Amino acid sequence: MPTALITGATSGIGAAFARRLAAEGFSLVLVSRDEHRLAGAAGQLKLRYGVSSEVLPADLATEEGLARVESRLAEGVDVLVNNAGFGNPGRFPDVPVEDEVRMLKVHCEAVLRLTLAALPGMRERERGAIINVASVAAFFPRGTYSASKAWVVNFSESAAADVGDPRIRIMALCPGFVRTEFHRRSGMDTAGIPGFLWLKADDVVRAAMRDLALGRRVSVPDPRYKAIVAIGRLVPRGLQARVSAAIGR
C-alpha cells in the first residue's frame, strides 16, 4: 500500500489532501503540532476510508520537530505534501522578528529539508511525488508571507528541473483564498475579501491532483485565479502591491 505524509494535516487543505489520498487507498502519516487533533483526524479517516493513519506530532518551527519528520521520511513515502504554514497578523516591518523567522522556518526551511529527506527513497524506487503548498500571493508583493511563498514556487520548479526524472514529480500548489482556519488563526480580517474569490479546500485538492498527474510544476487552481495571475504579470509591481494591500493577503 502506498504511503503519503502530510504536514498541517488536521484542517483545511491538509485535511482535504488526507481525505483525497485516503480515498485513493494510501496509508497516511499525519503531521501537526496538536496530538489530540491528530488522533481525532486519524480515527475519522479510519472509520470513513478504512485506511491506517500514523500520527506524528511535530512543530516544524523547531529543530526537534523537523528532525522527527525527516527521520520518518527517510523510511520512505510515496507522496509528501508540505502543507504546514501560517500567516502573521500585521504588516512588515511591524511584525516581531522572531515571528517572521518562525514563518520562514516553516515555509522555507521545512519545505527544503523535508523534500531532501523524501527524495532519496523516491529516487531509489524511481517514483514519487512532492506537493509544496504555496499561494497565489507568491506572484504579488505582499510582505514576508508572499515572499516566503514565492521561494516555495521557485524552489519547487528548480528542484523538479534538477531531479530531472518525470517519474518523480515536484509541484508547487498556489491556491487563492480558501475557506479554512488559516485566516482566523492568523488573526486576519477577511471582511474586505470579495465572496467570489473564496475556494473550497476539496476543490483545490482535486485540481492539484489533476495538475500533478499532468506533470505540471506549478498548479494554480480555478480559472479565476489563473486569470488574476496572468493579469498580474502585466501590471506594474507598484500597482500590484497597492491592490494586494487593498484586498488582503
DSSP string, 10-62: TSHHHHHHHHHHHHTT-EEEEEES-HHHHHHHHHHHHHHH---EEEEE--TTS
Q: Domain range for residue 156? A: 3-247
Helix axes 12-23, 35-49, angle to 10 degrees: 30
Q: Do residues 16 and 178 lie in contact, with contact meaning Cβ atoms separated by under 8 Å?
A: no
CA 233 to chain CA mean position, Å: 23
Residue bearing cell 512532492: 130
Give the mean pLDDT of 103-124: 98
Say which of 145, 151, 155, 182 is annotated catalytic: 145
pLDDT at 179: 76
Number of domains in the chain: 1
d(CA 7, CA 26): 15
- 136-158 pLDDT tens trace: 999 998 789 999 999 999 999 99
pLDDT grade for 182, boundaries at 50, 70 and 90: low
Residue 51 pLDDT grade (very low, low, confident, very high; cuts 50, 70, 90)? very high
Question: What whole-number distance in Å separates Cα of residue 86 and Cα of residue 178?
Answer: 13
Specify the pLDDT at position 180.
67
**What proportion of the chain, given as a percentage, has pLDDT over 90?**
79
Taking CA atoms, 143 is separated from 91, 184, 248, in Å, by 7, 19, 11
Contact 9/41 with Cβ under 8 angstroms?
A: yes
| Secondary structure class of 107 (helix, strand, coil) | helix
- Say whether pLDDT at 33 is over 90: yes
49 is catalytic: no
pTM value > 0.85? yes
pLDDT at 181 > cutoff 70:
no
CATH code, domain carrying 107: 3.40.50.720
Alpha carbon distance 131, 79 (integer Å): 8
Tens-place pLDDT, residues 57-108? 999 999 999 999 999 999 999 999 999 999 998 888 999 999 999 999 999 9
Q: 235 vs 144, 239, 241, CA distance in Å?
A: 21, 7, 10
Q: How far apart are CA 104 and CA 62, in angstroms?
A: 12
Stretch 210-219: mean pLDDT: 98
